[in-house]
Chain A
Amino acid sequence: MKLTMGSQTFTDVQVPILWGTRAVIQDKGARISVIDLSGSTSKLEILGDKPAKGVEFLPTNDGFNILMDGEELYSYNPDQKLLTSISLGLPNCRISESQIQVGSNTFSYNTIAGFEVGILVTKDHISLGAALPPDLTRLSKNISAGDEVACPVCQKTFNSFLNLARHMVLKDRPGGEHIQWLEEFLGRPFVEFGWRSDKQIAVSLRRHWMRARSWSK
């Protein structure tokens, strides 16, 4: 990849900025995209300053927060090109025309060539020029829109287990097919999980899915 971003010139790099496990790339229209490399495929979370397809988000006064199963991970402010960690434990990352600012460090007019990662940002340190951490997937053009999960009852698809859990709890309460399925799955009556239990249900659904990759019991 060859591009200029925040006044840095990145030549022959795979990922210009790696913010934790997320590749940060600026297109020619100065819009930012963020791709999570922690899964088996590259997952697009922000595409050109907007939430990507299949992403759970919450609009805010100055942009939006990216969520996963209801947990707010980080926020993005498109006007300031500013990524702010909410629960990732990473320093803020801001890409302006003349510099890239990571936490209290500022990078201006550097040329970074021949590295897998241009600027590596982790919880503990920042490096200029680094190898891609071995546990991350390589950035490829096969960017997925995130794993979708289908409702075991009506097959409607959701982009998170939390949304699936909420759908199942709300769909036909208190005694419909979805609730009956959940009662059998959780081994508990509706009255015990019908209110404010979405997250626990999401965790149970996720655990089961990760283990079995199927809803059949």
Chain B
Amino acid sequence: MDVILNSDILHDKRLITDDVSKRLRTFLQACAERNHVIVIPLTALLEFNRQQSELVSKTAAEVDRAYELLDRFKIPYSRVDPSEVVKLPDLVSLIQKHKAKIVIEEPTLQDFQEAHRRACLHESPISMAKQSDEMRDLIIWLIALRLAKQNGGALLISRDDVHNNLLGRGEAEKIGLVCVKSVEDAEWYLDVDIGTPASRLVEHLLTTIWGELVSKGLPLTDEVSPIGVSRASFDQGAHGLSSVICSIKVKTRDKKTLKANTEIHINGNVTDEVRLSDIKVDNEDWQDGFLLIRPSKVWSYEADDYEERLDALLQIMEE
């Protein structure tokens, strides 16, 4: 699927020197693994370059000021022209670095003409109340519509009101254009946080106590549903995994989305304690938002060879 990124998603407060933000990086890697194509409208690329160019100028001036300070105190240093080291980042290379396929999509003449017409006539998706004449947003909208029509669907990630208001929704739905406001929402839509090694492991751990979660009243399906996992951290104990802390999301039996912060403690091959907090169903608090289970359930577990591996290391260090 084409995943179209607006400039507000690419925006970075810092001058990008080596890589995009960690959040975006993870998303790009997930898209690459699933063969989703990252589409940057030329309009968004130009905006990104303009914003980063301002940071380039600011940073180069900072380097010059640093030189002045060193000169003032006669501190020896090797001078390098700031323009040689402070450079505009190449967004295409930064995205390709994560093996993601990227296309820079130029607006067509028809895109321009249609955007011009809609801007002048205040037609959908521009809100009359907003009195916006923002052509850039309209051009990105028309590129997204065109790609969705060509390919039978597309995903636009944008925080902009023009792309997310109700006026444009009908037009988008007809041709399979889905608009989301954040990378997190895009991950949920694309299921890129489901089926990852981390989510598989959490799912495996929760499978043993799924029945208890249901019996405690969580509105889950009777069979285990795929679980999306984010912000995960796993701890290794002496005999394998000892705890997991993460955020989970899962579909409920009435197709809503349940989200919760989750802590799972394991002792050997026994799941000792599972603690869910901030439980929300479709962003509404579920009861008091908290559930504690002490299941003492055995989960299938690969016998750990820790001692043998440690002996092998110590042996080589002794030689």
* Mutual binders A and B: yes
Q: Which residues of A contact B (CB under 8 A)?
A: 1-3, 25-29, 31, 33, 47-61, 67, 70, 72, 139, 141, 143, 145, 158-160, 162-163, 166-167, 170-171, 173, 195
Question: CA separation between A49 and B234, bound complex, in Å?
Answer: 16
The chain B residue with its CB closest to the CB of A32 is B313
Closest-CB distance, A18 to chain B (whole angstroms): 14
Q: Do the beta carbons of A28 and B316 come within 8 Å of each other?
A: yes
Going nearest first, the 8 A-B pairs with the smallest beta carbon separation are: A48-B309, A59-B197, A27-B312, A51-B236, A170-B277, A166-B245, A33-B313, A2-B319
Q: Among A27, A55, A166, which residue has its beta carbon within 8 angstroms of that of B313?
A: A27
Chain A CB within 8 A of B109 CB: no
Q: Given A31-B309, A47-B309, decide whether A141 and B314 contact each other with a Cβ distance below 8 A.
A: yes
Given contacts A2-B319, A59-B198, 16 further A-B contacts (CB under 8 A): A3-B319, A25-B316, A27-B313, A27-B315, A28-B312, A31-B312, A33-B309, A47-B310, A48-B312, A52-B236, A53-B236, A54-B236, A58-B198, A141-B317, A170-B263, A171-B275
Q: Do the beta carbons of A167 and B233 come within 8 Å of each other?
A: no
The chain A residue with its CB closest to the CB of B263 is A170
Q: Do the beta carbons of A28 and B275 come within 8 Å of each other?
A: no
Task: Provide the residues of chain A in CB contact with B263, threshold 8 Å.
Answer: 166-167, 170
Q: Among A3, A50, A54, which residue has its beta carbon within 8 angstroms of that of B316?
A: A3
CB-defined A-B contacts under 8 Å, sample of 22: A1-B316, A25-B313, A26-B316, A27-B312, A27-B315, A33-B309, A48-B308, A48-B309, A51-B234, A54-B237, A55-B236, A56-B233, A57-B233, A57-B235, A61-B33, A70-B233, A72-B22, A159-B235, A163-B235, A166-B233, A166-B261, A170-B263
Question: CA separation between A8 and B58, bound complex, in Å?
Answer: 48
Chain A CB within 8 A of B84 CB: no
Question: CA separation between A2 and B197, bound complex, in Å?
Answer: 37
Question: CA separation between A33 and B245, bound complex, in Å?
Answer: 25
Task: Provide the residues of chain A in CB contact with B305, threshold 8 Å.
Answer: 48
Task: Provide the residues of chain A in CB contact with B124, threshold 8 Å.
Answer: none
Q: Given A3-B316, A28-B315, A53-B306, decide whether A173 and B290 contact each other with a Cβ distance below 8 A.
A: yes
Task: Provide the residues of chain A in CB contact with B315, threshold 8 Å.
Answer: 27-28
Task: Provide the residues of chain B in CB contact with A163, threshold 8 Å.
Answer: 233, 235, 243, 245
Closest-CB distance, A153 to chain B (whole angstroms): 15
Q: Given A58-B198, A61-B33, A173-B277, decide whether A1 and B234 contact each other with a Cβ distance below 8 A.
A: no
How many chain B residues touch A (CB < 8 A): the figure is 34
Most buried by A among B233, B263, B306, B310: B233
Q: Given A58-B198, A61-B33, decide whether A162 and B233 contact each other with a Cβ distance below 8 A.
A: yes
Task: Provide the residues of chain B in CB contact with A52, threshold 8 Å.
Answer: 236
Q: Do the beta carbons of A53 and B277 come within 8 Å of each other?
A: no
Closest-CB distance, B221 to chain A (whole angstroms): 25
Closest-CB distance, A211 to chain B (whole angstroms): 25
Q: Contact flags (1/0) for B257-279 with A, using CB distance below 8 Å?
A: 00001010000000000010110
Task: Provide the residues of chain A in CB contact with B254, threshold 8 Å.
Answer: none
Closest-CB distance, A185 to chain B (whole angstroms): 19
Q: Contact flags (1/0) for B297-308 with A, using CB distance below 8 Å?
A: 000000001101
Task: Provide the residues of chain A in CB contact with B313, threshold 8 Å.
Answer: 25, 27, 33, 47-48, 143
Task: Provide the residues of chain B in CB contact with A139, threshold 8 Å.
Answer: 317
Chain A CB within 8 A of B201 CB: yes
Chain A CB within 8 A of B318 CB: yes
Task: Provide the residues of chain A in CB contact with B306, threshold 8 Å.
Answer: 47, 53
Closest-CB distance, B206 to chain A (whole angstroms): 15
